[in-house]
């Protein structure tokens, strides 16, 4: 069997130590982007190489692992990462949010509130919130170290001047513990309120960009806004078509070529749970 040729959870121990040191540093300085020596992983950049390395570094044989991609447990990315760790770490896997001890996610925070002891690992494409306004890395590092964040509001100003409201709907920048401005990865801004004061540990891994950052439990996280244009974690104004949930984040699903569509929970586990306990939406079969 090839499985024996791998160290537990794929990465060699030296690499894990290096990544764990980066994680600990990230937890010690919430919101600060810690550089780390990202390894080649058996998947292309952009498919979660950062998240996979962080997950590999924190997994223990006793963990129960869950992977979601845009909230769903059953998409290609989620299925392949889950099977990767089943094979290389031999850990138990689950789709139940409450049962999981480590959850790797792309673009969502689960609907069910997380609890102490859980770790949420985010896959991050571009960790630098200032990148699109200031292309020079030397300059953005200086801006972070000197807390020069006026530029972040310029981005929001531009949104309002162009659209009449803050049109940034995902990867909405936040201030962590009144210090670092952080990109929460491309989660919808609907999920932003869950970042703060969360009992779980939140870890962010960017493989291609070689950065790790973190939010320890119960961290204060504030979404940037203007006094007269306050942050609004809006979502599509519909209930879920399958489970009838009023307060979950929804995906719009096109059902035919005649403009038919339905809105369903993006968190599949949450939706299935609700349906199992008898909730029904208007589009439920």
Partner 1 sequence: MRDTALLSVRGLAKHYGAHIGCTDVTFDLFPGEVMGIVGESGSGKSTLLNCLAGHLDPDHGEVFFDTRAEGLRDTIQMSEPGRRMLGRTDWAFVHQHARDGLRMGVSAGGNVGERLMAVGARNYADIRTQAEDWLQRVEIDTTRIDDRPTTFSGGMQQRLQIARNLVTGPRLVFMDEPTGGLDVSVQARLLDLLRGLVRNMGLSAIIVTHDLAVVRLLADRLMVMKSGRVVEAGLTDQVLDDPQHPYTQLLVSSVLQV
Whichever of 201 and 224 has its CB closer to partner 1, that residue is: 224
- How many residues bind to partner 1 according to rule CB under 8 A? 19
Residues 6+ apart with CB under 8 A from 85: 9, 10, 55, 56, 59, 65, 91, 93
Q: How far is the CB of 130 from partner 1 (least distance, A)?
A: 12
Question: What DSSP assignment string belongs to 85-126?
Answer: HHHHT--EE-S-TTT-SEEEEES---SSPP-TT-EEEEE-S-
Does the protein bind partner 1 through residue 179 (CB under 8 A)?
A: no
Does the protein bind partner 1 through residue 162 (CB under 8 A)?
A: yes
Active site residue 240: yes
CA-to-CA dists, residue 108 to 118, 247, 277, angstroms? 16, 15, 23
Annotated catalytic residue within 26, 241, 271, 281: 271
Active site residue 31: yes
Whichever of 20 and 153 has its CB closer to partner 1, that residue is: 153
Does the protein bind partner 1 through residue 226 (CB under 8 A)?
A: yes
Tokens 């390395």 sit on residue: 53
Does the protein bind partner 1 through residue 164 (CB under 8 A)?
A: no
Residues 6+ apart with CB under 8 A from 202: 119, 120, 122, 195, 214, 215, 219
CB–CB of 184/205 below 8 Å?
no
Q: Given candidates 5, 14, 76, 150, which one binds partner 1 under the rule CB under 8 A?
A: 150
Q: Given candidates 3, 13, 227, 256, which one binds partner 1 under the rule CB under 8 A?
A: 227
Question: How many Cα atoms within 13 Å fall on the side-chain side of residue 206?
Answer: 23
Does the protein bind partner 1 through residue 146 (CB under 8 A)?
A: yes
Name which of residues 104 to 133 contact partner 1 (CB under 8 A): 133
Annotated catalytic residue within 50, 241, 243, 244: 243
Q: Given candidates 8, 45, 157, 231, which one binds partner 1 under the rule CB under 8 A?
A: 157
Active site residue 265: yes
For CA atoms 196, 70, 202, 90, the dihedral sign is positive
What is the C-alpha separation between 202 and 26, in angstroms, rounded? 10
Active site residue 243: yes
Contacts with partner 1, residue ranges (CB under 8 A): 133, 146-151, 153-154, 157-158, 160-162, 225-229
Residues that are catalytic: 31, 240, 243, 265, 271
């Amino acid at each position: 069997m090839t499985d024996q040729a791998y160290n537990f959870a794929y990465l060699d121990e030296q690499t894990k130590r290096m990544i764990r040191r980066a994680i600990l540093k990230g937890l010690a300085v919430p919101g600060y982007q810690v550089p780390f020596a990202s390894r080649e992983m058996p998947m292309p950049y952009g498919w979660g190489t950062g998240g996979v390395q962080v997950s590999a570094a924190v997994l223990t044989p006793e963990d129960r692992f869950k992977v979601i991609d845009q909230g769903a447990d059953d998409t290609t990315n989620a299925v392949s990462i889950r099977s990767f760790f089943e094979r290389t770490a031999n850990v138990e896997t689950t789709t139940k949010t409450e049962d999981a001890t480590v959850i790797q996610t792309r673009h969502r925070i689960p609907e069910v509130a997380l609890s102490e002891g859980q770790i949420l690992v985010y896959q991050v494409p571009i960790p630098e919130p200032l990148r699109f306004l200031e292309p020079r890395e030397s300059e953005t590092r200086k801006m972070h170290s000197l807390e020069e964040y006026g530029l972040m509001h310029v981005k929001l100003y531009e949104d309002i001047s162009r659209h009449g409201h803050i049109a940034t709907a995902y990867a909405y920048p936040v201030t962590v513990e009144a210090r670092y401005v952080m990109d929460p990865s491309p989660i919808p801004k609907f999920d932003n309120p869950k970042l703060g004061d969360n009992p779980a540990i939140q870890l962010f891994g960017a493989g291609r960009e070689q950065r790790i950052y973190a939010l320890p439990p119960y961290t204060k996280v504030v979404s940037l806004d203007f006094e007269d244009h306050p942050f609004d974690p809006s979502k599509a104004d519909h209930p879920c078509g399958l489970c009838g949930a009023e307060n979950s984040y929804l995906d719009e699903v096109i059902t035919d070529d005649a403009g038919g569509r339905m809105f369903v929970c993006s968190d599949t586990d949450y939706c299935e749970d609700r349906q199992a306990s008898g909730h029904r939406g208007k589009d439920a079969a």
